[in-house]
Structure 1
Amino acid sequence: MSEPATENAADDSWVPRNDMVFESDEKAYQFYCLYAKEMGFGVRKHFVKRRSSGLVYSRVFCCYKEGFCRSLKEGKKPRPDSRTGCKAHITVRIMDDGRFRVTEFDPNHNHELIAKANETETEPIDKPASVKKAAKKNVNYRSISRSYIPSKPTNFTDDRVPRVDMEFENDEEAYNFYFNYAINIGFSVRKHLIKRRASGLIYSRTYCCHKEGHTRKRDEQVQERNPKPYDRSGCLASMTIKITKSGRYRVIVFEPKHNHALVVPTKAHLFKWQWRRGLIKSPNDQRLSSEQAETQVPTSITSHNKNAMMVGDVGAILQYMQEKQAEDPFFYYALRLEQDDQLMSVFWTDGKSKVDFDYFDDVICFDTSYKTSDYRRPFALFIGVNHHKQAIIFGQALTYDETVESFKWLFEAFKSSMCGKQPKLILTEKSEAISNAIAEVWPGTIHRFCVWQLYNNAVKHLNFVFEGSTTFAKDFSRCIYEIEEEEQFVSEWKSLLEKYDLNSNTLLANLYEDREKWSLAYERHAFYGDVKSVLVKDNMNDALKKYLDSENLLEFFKHYENIVKEQLYAELQADFNARQGLVKTHASRMLRQASNVYTPAVLKVFQAEFDMSIDYMVYNCGQIGTVFEYKVTAEDHPNEFIVTFDSSNGSIFCSCKKFEVAGIQCRHVLKVLDIINIKELPPKYILKRWTKDAKATNQGEVTDSAVNSDSKSSKSKRYRTLCSLLNKVAEKASGTVESYNFVENLSDQLMDQVCKLLLQSARPEKPYR
């Protein structure tokens, strides 16, 4: 059994050892290959272990003589390098920061090692292929008699010459940079090697000279179909980039030397080989500058982004809308056509959605995650939250373009379908077109970015960080979803960027710049209704993905209706449980009050706040008139919260502003109420939208504007109010046969009475005699 050589003992940095750390498993493999070349053996990639996401978390690289040769079939040529069961290997395993650490290293071989490739011309029969290739590559490189080093042309600055450690936003930007460099130097570029992770992410690319490699020898009698206009010469000029933790690409290798004569760019049209991208067309044409080449737009691309409508979609849409309108008299749909009568947008909603919006119009989410998930149809949903903390749908749309005009039309259609009402707050993706449309169409509506959609977008564009670290997802989720204090958010966001080396990441920089539009630590005066947790829990992406790609749009509509029916059944079941379920007896008066008014889902949240309030301590900070101020703290929580109570009107406020954001009183207020001997919640701090009676209708609620407005608009306002009222009655009465028969029997009497009133008001006055 051979032992490792002891030469170069003074510098053993090239020898593997336990706890060595590499940026990736590929780096570890390259290091072990260099070690193997020095020692005199070949390397094989042995074991690989992956997580369910496809991420490699462990690898074993072994000697090429590991294991034993399998029994060969008769007549099959035996391998010259028979295996000997060698145990020499190295094992690397991923760490929390995405790097790989050496966990095992066995240097002992049970066979003789071979001489270095560059020290002998005689190669033994059992010399490994990896060493042979390395030797051949070295000989070819040394046999080059002349190397051509490009000289900089006039007005060619150093910042246009590649260099190691240069960084680019993406691999395409790096290619454009190297391509422009090649144009000015006098050679053409080919995309050579590409390496991807299991997720498809490109983590390494090599761009080389057009004369890289060697031209294959072909039979002179066989005529090649598309012969190359030039012969390759094995040129080694190239540039290699690799992805960094921040998502940018860094130049790790740049070889400027060519083994062939370069071409003067102004004479390139005289040579057989052509420049890439058609930048040179004829001797009289002038080469376009890189700026001109990048700014030219094909004439086939229109001024706005259009998603191609599939064949048969228009007919399916019209058929579905007509059928639904026949079933539901309150069904509403709108179509947007372009000047060439091309269908660009569709919006529709039904009677139940209108009733739900009348009750829960305080917050909605415009969910466009379907159009950003590479589905074939650009589906979008208007989603709200009901009193059971369940997702409810107010409307849906197919938007085949994403311009400001398209979104303006869509929001106008939604407003018209809801009898002129608009939401108090809307959450959307981060989009300039959507923001501009909302500002113009719904000026009184608060617009914020949806953190759930921001998180999904980050997962898509930062997958190299999510897959490379086991802790990033948890830390990023905390910054996005949980932190409610401004100072704490700023501190933890900066720590996140430092920990994962993401200070130069453009996506996260833009998110931080717009933090006041999405972070829970800012703008805590608006009501959100905990829509974030509802979207995470009731997400329909997976259920709709398959059918959004279906060839038949009617199949998608059918499947979508089944999902809506499941949601309706879940809501009815929650209503029944809230009304008929057993109410747990509580020792506290406040909990008994909450269990009587709140739905079970909301009661669960309230009880959690009540239980947490027990561990808090209260300090009296003083009094100004009828206003008392208290400081509330907890032993395990460094933050202090200020609660003010006005004894004149019973108003109470907390600096955490949980009630303003979620509509449920916080633990700090509950603790102060207990200290000042108020054992029940004041009625004004129990939002009707969270109670069991959230959808109870008061038939006397008719706005004065609908009754006493001027004659020009009074009829339309009364009509909209009556539609809303009768729609609520229809929605409730259709639940059972008995309630339906009751309303149907009264309808004739109601119509007779209405006709009498109309006749009395239309009776002509008696003429004067």
Structure 2
Amino acid sequence: MDQCGDSAASEDGSCPVLDDIDENYTVRDCSTVEANIFSDEVEEDFSIDEPIAVDPSAAENANGLDPYIGREFESEHATYIFYGEYARHVGFGIRKRFIRRSKLNNEVIGRTYVCSREGIKLSRKEVDHPRPTTRLDCKAMMKVKRYENGKWIIIKFVKEHNHELYPHSACIFESPLINTYNEAPKSAEIDVSKTILLATKRGRPKKVQSTEKNCRNLFENEQREPLSIGDAQTLYDYFMRAQVSNPRFFYAMELDEQQRMRNVFWADTKARVDYAHFGDVVTFDTTCLTNKYETKIVSFVGVNHHGQSVLLGCALVTDETKASFLWVFRTWLTVMQGGPPKAIITDHHRTINLAIAEAFPQTCHRICLGHVMRRVPEKLGKACTNNERFIYKFEKCVYDSLTVEEFERRWKKLVESNGLLDHEWIQTLFEDRNQWVPVYLKDIFFAGMSTSRQGESVKSFFDDYVNEKTSLKDFIDQIELALQRSYSAEEKADLETYRRTTSLITGSPYEAQMASVYTMDIFKKFQEEILLIPSCTAVRVREEGAEVNYVVKELRIKRNGLRGVIDYEVLFNGYETKVCCVCRSFEFKGYLCRHAMVVLFAVGVFDIPSRYILKRWTWDAKNIDICNGSQDSGPEFVAKCFSDLRADSLKLAEESSLTKERYRTAKIFLKEALMKVASMEKVPVSDPNTKSKEAQRITWQQN
């Protein structure tokens, strides 16, 4: 077997763009290496002094990256780097396909580089679960030969590909290699054809390429710490399964100085699509898994238009350092390919706070109120928590304070009367009060993801699947079940909204208006506000031009069964038809409160103004006008198209599943549609059920 003769470093000591690899291994589209099904083949003979005709027009019109027949290079290695850089720019992977050696001295005198999708994968009948092929018989290639003067010249170049190109996710990046690899690979117990590598040093990410040894190190290394070899294999197997079913599944890994996995991140297609629609508010949740390294699973969770939790990405971290959290945040933000969230909710964790302040400086960071309240018994001890009056007053101070002044007055009285002035945790809570106390955050939209009232709770996405006794293997088994149930719940809610059999239970014009606008789940929450309107009375207290101040008196039943009246200040602007309540329900949850609607009714506004109807809560939250938009490419466009088509597909599925005839008609239609769409991009499709799209992967080096 011929070996590549170039070293991993250039003569000036700088690292090349690509690491040299064995002839039977392939540098893949997205920083990967895969076993070549072909043996080492030799091209047809060509004379070493054969003249070559230079294409003048191609040479004149080519830019610095374009190959053309007759282009000269100083060395074979230079041709490899050149074609690799061209492939990165255009968006495909390359492979060293043929080699030609001199019969006189066995020196390399010719090379052929091909697209990584060249060739046709040979079938193996004995394989029970064959992997999806990535070979599409692509003819794109570049052939070079060495002349007597030592120059290497392009003698053949085929530009056209028969598949989609990915210039933003190409595999070859100009950065130092993490390792070199000069020996033949071991038996392929672990397939490295779809592996992505994240690099070793801490800091802001920078893209680099991955070599075969890099990939194998991830899953074949002893993995003494921080992850065991069994954990690594479990992750790898899951990623391989996910790539088959998710056309744009992404995963990334960070290694420590000994090339062992430290942190891992992944996100599927739906997570990236959902972030485009519902990435305004995100919860960052951490859960400890059972192993001797105390690995934590961290998840990014959003809320869709049904008020359901949606997973926006996962990561495993093996240490709770600022550097690890920064890596996770920056990786996630890059993968989502959008701006940072407007608000993020986390546990009360000092290291996470510091990392968020650096990674998302413009994002409003809120500490989960439920997390704070659950820790009260643990932090304050029995002396306070066994006192029912203390618990009642603590909750009243936190939940019922309508102004900052009211909260701070109640807090001071509470801590003084219970001897907590010098309590360290209480002091820390008060210092961080603007991050967890509702009265400080009422003007920030949180999509209902953090508790605002006593008795409310927000569940983690994996609450029903993961606990402190869950191993990594068990978690991987459970995550697919959790995701499937999440997808099914959303589809069910979509269908219920489309069928819409909402029953109106009051005569309110606002109820009738929003019944056909909001999704079923959000409408039910809005309907709760409608039902409480009769308990409210609006009293005009002051008028100044277009602005009118009201006090809405709401009758409440207290815990002890006694009645009480709570006053809410509401400001109405007649010129702009704006209404603002001191409870800030709209600002916090995204729909109007009963107090605001009482005032609207009092001034004769019987339709809720459009500014108070958030599209993210409506039945068509994911629907867009693709045809009339100016954008026709990029990740955001893809996400919007995906969501729009998915909504139509649900309607088709509902109508087509009623009878066998409808079902058969829909199947024929879908098969024809898929074949037609695929042919438009010149992508061969033999079976509409084929799931052979590759994952989208990038690699980073951190400084």
Q: Same fold, TM exceeding 0.5?
A: yes
Per-residue Cα deviation, 1:640-693 (whole angstroms, up to 9, x for no partner):
40312233x322223332211111112221111111111121122111122222
1:560 aligned to which of 466, 476, 479 = 479
Is this contact kept in 1: 2:497–2:519, CA < 8 A?
yes
Report the 3-state secondary structure (helix = DSSP H, G, I; strand = E; otherwise coil) of the residue aligned with 1:617.
Answer: strand
Query: Are the structure 2 counterparts of residues 518 and 533 from structure 1 closer, same or farther at C-alpha, using a change threshold of 3 Å?
Result: closer
1:418 aligned to which of 336, 339, 351 = 336
Match in the other structure for 1:616: 536
2:626 aligned to which of 699, 702, 706 = 699
Measured after TM superposition, the shift of residue 587 of structure 1 is 2.0
Is this contact kept in 2: 1:497–1:503, CA < 8 A?
yes
CA distance in 2, matches of 1:611, 1:428: 33
- Correspondence 1:342-357 to 2 at 5 A: 342-357=260-275
Is this contact kept in 1: 2:568–2:583, CA < 8 A?
no
Match in the other structure for 2:502: 583
1:639 aligned to which of 567, 574, 581 = 567
Measured after TM superposition, the shift of residue 600 of structure 1 is 3.2
Query: Are the structure 2 counterparts of residues 562 and 474 from structure 1 closer, same or farther at C-alpha, using a change threshold of 3 Å?
Result: farther
Match in the other structure for 1:652: 579
Measured after TM superposition, the shift of residue 528 of structure 1 is 0.9
The one-letter amino acid of 1:609's match is E
Measured after TM superposition, the shift of residue 414 of structure 1 is 1.1
The one-letter amino acid of 1:569's match is S
Measured after TM superposition, the shift of residue 398 of structure 1 is 0.7
Match in the other structure for 1:727: 642
Is this contact kept in 2: 1:370–1:378, CA < 8 A?
yes
- Correspondence 1:94-133 to 2 at 5 A: none
Per-residue Cα deviation, 1:297-316 (whole angstroms, up to 9, x for no partner):
xxxxxx9xx99534521221
2:450 aligned to which of 532, 545, 549 = 532
- Correspondence 1:43-58 to 2 at 5 A: none
CA distance in 2, matches of 1:687, 1:428: 24
Query: Are the structure 2 counterparts of residues 680 and 726 from structure 1 closer, same or farther at C-alpha, using a change threshold of 3 Å?
Result: closer
The one-letter amino acid of 1:657's match is R
2:440 aligned to which of 522, 539, 550 = 522
Length-normalised TM-score, structure 1: 0.52
Check if 1:543 corresponds to 2:464. Answer: yes
1:510 aligned to which of 399, 421, 428 = 428
Is this contact kept in 2: 1:332–1:349, CA < 8 A?
yes
Check if 1:386 corresponds to 2:314. Answer: no
Give the gaps of 5 or more residues in structure 2. 1-201, 203-223, 556-563, 657-662, 684-703
Query: Are the structure 2 counterparts of residues 385 and 480 from structure 1 closer, same or farther at C-alpha, using a change threshold of 3 Å?
Result: farther
Measured after TM superposition, the shift of residue 590 of structure 1 is 1.6
The one-letter amino acid of 1:325's match is Q
CA distance in 1, matches of 2:359, 2:439: 28
Is this contact kept in 2: 1:380–1:397, CA < 8 A?
yes
CA distance in 2, matches of 1:349, 1:588: 43
Per-residue Cα deviation, 1:201-255 (whole angstroms, up to 9, x for no partner):
xxxxxxxxxxxxxxxxxxxxxxxxxxxxxxxxxxxxxxxxxxxxxxxxxxxxxxx
Give the gaps of 5 or more residues in structure 1. 1-302, 708-717, 757-769
Is this contact kept in 2: 1:377–1:549, CA < 8 A?
no
1:395 aligned to which of 313, 338, 345 = 313
Check if 1:685 corresponds to 2:612. Answer: yes
Length-normalised TM-score, structure 2: 0.56
Q: Greater relative contact order: 1 or 2 (C-alpha under 8 angstroms, separation 6 or more)?
A: 2
CA distance in 2, matches of 1:688, 1:579: 16
CA distance in 1, matches of 2:429, 2:291: 20
The one-letter amino acid of 1:724's match is A
Is this contact kept in 2: 1:376–1:549, CA < 8 A?
no
Is this contact kept in 2: 1:388–1:599, CA < 8 A?
yes
Query: Are the structure 2 counterparts of residues 516 and 418 from structure 1 closer, same or farther at C-alpha, using a change threshold of 3 Å?
Result: same
Measured after TM superposition, the shift of residue 428 of structure 1 is 1.3
CA distance in 2, matches of 1:583, 1:626: 37
Measured after TM superposition, the shift of residue 571 of structure 1 is 2.4
Is this contact kept in 1: 2:514–2:523, CA < 8 A?
yes
CA distance in 2, matches of 1:460, 1:368: 19
Match in the other structure for 1:603: 523
Per-residue Cα deviation, 1:720-758 (whole angstroms, up to 9, x for no partner):
2343234325644665486676455334444555679xx
Is this contact kept in 2: 1:375–1:545, CA < 8 A?
no
2:241 aligned to which of 290, 311, 323 = 323
Match in the other structure for 1:630: 550
Is this contact kept in 2: 1:465–1:472, CA < 8 A?
no
User: Percent identity over the alignment?
Assistant: 27
Query: Are the structure 2 counterparts of residues 634 and 391 from structure 1 closer, same or farther at C-alpha, using a change threshold of 3 Å?
Result: same
1:430 aligned to which of 348, 361, 365 = 348
Match in the other structure for 2:673: 746
- Correspondence 1:206-221 to 2 at 5 A: none
The one-letter amino acid of 1:681's match is I
Match in the other structure for 2:364: 446
Is this contact kept in 2: 1:733–1:740, CA < 8 A?
no
Report the 3-state secondary structure (helix = DSSP H, G, I; strand = E; otherwise coil) of the residue aligned with 1:698.
Answer: coil
Q: Which has the larger radius of gyration?
A: 1
Report the 3-state secondary structure (helix = DSSP H, G, I; strand = E; otherwise coil) of the residue aligned with 2:634.
Answer: helix
Measured after TM superposition, the shift of residue 399 of structure 1 is 0.9
Query: Are the structure 2 counterparts of residues 323 and 640 from structure 1 closer, same or farther at C-alpha, using a change threshold of 3 Å?
Result: closer
Measured after TM superposition, the shift of residue 352 of structure 1 is 1.6
Is this contact kept in 1: 2:585–2:592, CA < 8 A?
yes
Report the 3-state secondary structure (helix = DSSP H, G, I; strand = E; otherwise coil) of the residue aligned with 1:597.
Answer: coil
Over aligned residues, Cα RMSD in angstroms? 3.4
Is this contact kept in 2: 1:632–1:643, CA < 8 A?
no
